[in-house]
C-alpha cells in the first residue's frame, strides 16, 4: 500500500503523524494512505509560499502565461493517466473523468491570457498635466480547499488563475481522492513553475483551521457543502480574509408542456445520474408543469433508469460507477427510505445493487421518485446521489415560486420551445446559473461559476472575470509632473477640475 505525500517547496514530504485511508470505491478496498497535515506542515507550506512570492509577483505576466501554456500541454499528454487515477479513487467512469479534466483545462487556457486579463486602465489628462491608471496587483499567499467530486477540475478552477495573477497558492484537496490532484500539481512544476509558488497539503478540519487562522493567508477559495462553506466564510472573514465559499445545491429542471420530451429525458438522465449524482450541478428535481407532462416523463424515464449500465468506473462503456465511500452510499440509501416513509412514490429503487466481481464496492443503482412535495426531506436537502425527484405543479409561475422559495440557488434549467416562457424564467428565477434546454449550465472558463442564496458565501464567483477580481486588488495611481517654469499656489479646497 503506497503513501501519498504532500508537495511543499517543490519536494514530496510526509507527516509523521496522523493518516487516512484512500479507497477504491469499485472494490471497497484500501489502496493508499494519505497523511493529514499538522499545523507545522501547513506552516512549512506557508513559509515556502512567502519566500517565493516576491520573485513571482515581479515575474512578467507573459512569462507566467508561458508556464501555463506548457502546463496545458502536459495535462493533455497525461489525460489517460489522470483519468485513471480519478476513476480509481473517486469511482466515476473514465469518460466522465476525462470530461472533468477537459473542463479544468479550459481554465488553464483562460489563465494563459494573463497579459490581457491583467491589463489595467489608463486615462490621460484627467486634470492639468495629470494622468491616472489602475493596476491589478496580487494578494500574496492564497489557499484553496477542494471537494472529492472533482479532484481535477475544481483545483484547476482556482490555482492557475491565482498563480498567473502573481499569487502563491496552497491547495488542500479532498483526502478521499488525492492522487490525481497531486499528479497535476507535479505537472505544473514540470512546466517550469518555481518552487514554493504552489504547494499541496493533505488534511482534514485541522488543516483547514490552520489555513483559516494563518495571518499570512490573505484569501480562501472553497467548494463543498453549505455548512462547511458557511463555517469557512464566517471564520475567515472575521480574520480579515477575502473568501469565496461555494456550498450545496438543489437544482431543479422545469419541464413545460411544449418541451421536446425525448431530448429532455436524455438530458435529465445524464444530469441526474451522471457521476452518481455527486455533482453540485446535478439535476435532482424535475418540476413538471401539468400531470400530463409528469405522466409522460415518468413513462419515458423508468425503462432508462432501470437500464443504466453500472460497474467499476475503470471499465469502459458504463453510465455510472460506485459512490465515493460506503458512508456516502448508506447516506443516500437513508434518504431513499425517508422518501418512502414520507409518502413519495418510489418508482425505481436503486438499493441492493450488486456488481459481479465487485460485490464489496460502494454501488447504488438509479432511483426515481414521483409525487414528491416541498415539505419532504428528499426535496429540501441535497442528497448527492443517483436520485431524481419528480414534483408536479399547475403552472410555470408555481414552478418558479417553488424554486425561488428554496434555500439553495445554485443551478436550474427549463425545457421549453416557448421563447416568452424562457425569457420570463431567466429574468425572474433567483438562481445563479440558468440553462434553457441545457441541463447542466456550467459556465465556460471565460465566464464565472457561482450560485445565489445559501449556495455561495462571498461576493465573487469562481474563475473567469470574477476569479481575476478575487485574486487581485486594484491600485489606483494618479500622477502629475508640473512644468518647471510654473509655480502654483497652495490649494486648500478639495481638488477638482
Q: What residue has cell string 446535478?
A: 282
- How many angstroms from the chain centroid is the CA of residue 123? 37
**C-alpha grid cell for residue 475?**
491600485
Distance (Å, whole) CA 294 – CA 300: 10
Residue 316's DSSP bridge partners are none
Check: CB of residue 175 under 8 Å from CB of residue 36.
Answer: yes
Q: 3-class secondary structure for the chain?
A: CEECCEEECCEEECCCCCEEEEEECCCCEEEEEEECCCHHHHHHHHHHHHHHHHHHHCCCHHHHHHHHHHHHHHHHHCHHHHHHHHHHHHCCCHHHHHHHHHHHHHHHHHHCCHHHHCCCEEEEEEECCEEEEEEEEECCEEEEECCCCCCCHHHHHHHHHHHHCCCEEEEECCCCCCHHHHHHHHHHHHCCCCCCCEEECCCCHHHHHHHHHCCCEEEEEEECCHHHHHHHHHHHHCCCCEEEEECCCCEEEEECCCCCHHHHHHHHHHHHHHHHHCCCCCEEEEEEECHHHHHHHHHHHHHHHHCCCECCCCCCCCCECCCCCHHHHHHHHHHHHHHHHHCCEEEECCCCCCCCCCCCCCCCCCEEEECCCCCCHHHHCCCCCCEEEEEEECCHHHHHHHHHHCCEECEEEEECCCHHHHHHHHHHCCCCEEEECCCCCCCCCCCCECCEECCEECCCCECHHHHHHHCEEEEEEEEECCCCCCCCCCCCCCCCC
**C-alpha grid cell for residue 356?**
459481479
Active site members: 280
Distance (Å, whole) CA 269 – CA 255: 14
> Torsions phi, psi of 372, nearest 5?
-85, 140
Residue 171's DSSP bridge partners are 144, 200
Distance (Å, whole) CA 497 – CA 480: 14
Amino acid at each position: 500500500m503506497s503513501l501519498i505525500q504532500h508537495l511543499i517547496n517543490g519536494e514530496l514530504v510526509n507527516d509523521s503523524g496522523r493518516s487516512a485511508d484512500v479507497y477504491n470505491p469499485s472494490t471497497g478496498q484500501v489502496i493508499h494512505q494519505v497523511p493529514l497535515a499538522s499545523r507545522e506542515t501547513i506552516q512549512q507550506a506557508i513559509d515556502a509560499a512567502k519566500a517565493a512570492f516576491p520573485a513571482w509577483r515581479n515575474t512578467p505576466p507573459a512569462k507566467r502565461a508561458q508556464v501555463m501554456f506548457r502546463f496545458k500541454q502536459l495535462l493533455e499528454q497525461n489525460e489517460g493517466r489522470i483519468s485513471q487515477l480519478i476513476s480509481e479513487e473517486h469511482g466515476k467512469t473514465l469518460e466522465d473523468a476525462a470530461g472533468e479534466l477537459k473542463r479544468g483545462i479550459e481554465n488553464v487556457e483562460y489563465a494563459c491570457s494573463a497579459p490581457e486579463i491583467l491589463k489595467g486602465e489608463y486615462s490621460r489628462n484627467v486634470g492639468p498635466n495629470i494622468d491616472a491608471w489602475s493596476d491589478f496587483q496580487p494578494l500574496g499567499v492564497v489557499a484553496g480547499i477542494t471537494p472529492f467530486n472533482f479532484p481535477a477540475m475544481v483545483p484547476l478552477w482556482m490555482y492557475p488563475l491565482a498563480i498567473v495573477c502573481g499569487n502563491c497558492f496552497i491547495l488542500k484537496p479532498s483526502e478521499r481522492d488525492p492522487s490525481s490532484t497531486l499528479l497535476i500539481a507535479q505537472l505544473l512544476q514540470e512546466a517550469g513553475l518555481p518552487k514554493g509558488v504552489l504547494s499541496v497539503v493533505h488534511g482534514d478540519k485541522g488543516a483547514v483551521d490552520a489555513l483559516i487562522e494563518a495571518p499570512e493567508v490573505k484569501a480562501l477559495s472553497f467548494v463543498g457543502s453549505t455548512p462547511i462553506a458557511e463555517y469557512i466564510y464566517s471564520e475567515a472573514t472575521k480574520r480579515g480574509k477575502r473568501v469565496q465559499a461555494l456550498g450545496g445545491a438543489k437544482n431543479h429542471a422545469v419541464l413545460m408542456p411544449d418541451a421536446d420530451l425525448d431530448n429532455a429525458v436524455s438530458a435529465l438522465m445524464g444530469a441526474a445520474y451522471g457521476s452518481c449524482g455527486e455533482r453540485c450541478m446535478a439535476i435532482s428535481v424535475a418540476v413538471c408543469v401539468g400531470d400530463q407532462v409528469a405522466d409522460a416523463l415518468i413513462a419515458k424515464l423508468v425503462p432508462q433508469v432501470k437500464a443504466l449500465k453500472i460497474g467499476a468506473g475503470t471499465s469502459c462503456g458504463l453510465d455510472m460507477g460506485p459512490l465515493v465511500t460506503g458512508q456516502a452510499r448508506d447516506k443516500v440509501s437513508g434518504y431513499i427510505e425517508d422518501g418512502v416513509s414520507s409518502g413519495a412514490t418510489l418508482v425505481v429503487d436503486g438499493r441492493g445493487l450488486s456488481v459481479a466481481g465487485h460485490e464489496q464496492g460502494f454501488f447504488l443503482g438509479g432511483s426515481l421518485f414521483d409525487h414528491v412535495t416541498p415539505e419532504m426531506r428528499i426535496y429540501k436537502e441535497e442528497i448527492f446521489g443517483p436520485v431524481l425527484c419528480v414534483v408536479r405543479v399547475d403552472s410555470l409561475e408555481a414552478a418558479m415560486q417553488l424554486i425561488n422559495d428554496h434555500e439553495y440557488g445554485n443551478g436550474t434549467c427549463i425545457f421549453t420551445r416557448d421563447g416568452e416562457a424562457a425569457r420570463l424564467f431567466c429574468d425572474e428565477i433567483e438562481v445563479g446559473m440558468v440553462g434553457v434546454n441545457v441541463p447542466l449550465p456550467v459556465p465556460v472558463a471565460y465566464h464565472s461559476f457561482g450560485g445565489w442564496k445559501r449556495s455561495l458565501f462571498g461576493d465573487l464567483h469562481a474563475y473567469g472575470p470574477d476569479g481575476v477580481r478575487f485574486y487581485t486588488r486594484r491600485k489606483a495611481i494618479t500622477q502629475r509632473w508640473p512644468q518647471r517654469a510654473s509655480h502654483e499656489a497652495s490649494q486648500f479646497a478639495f481638488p477638482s477640475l
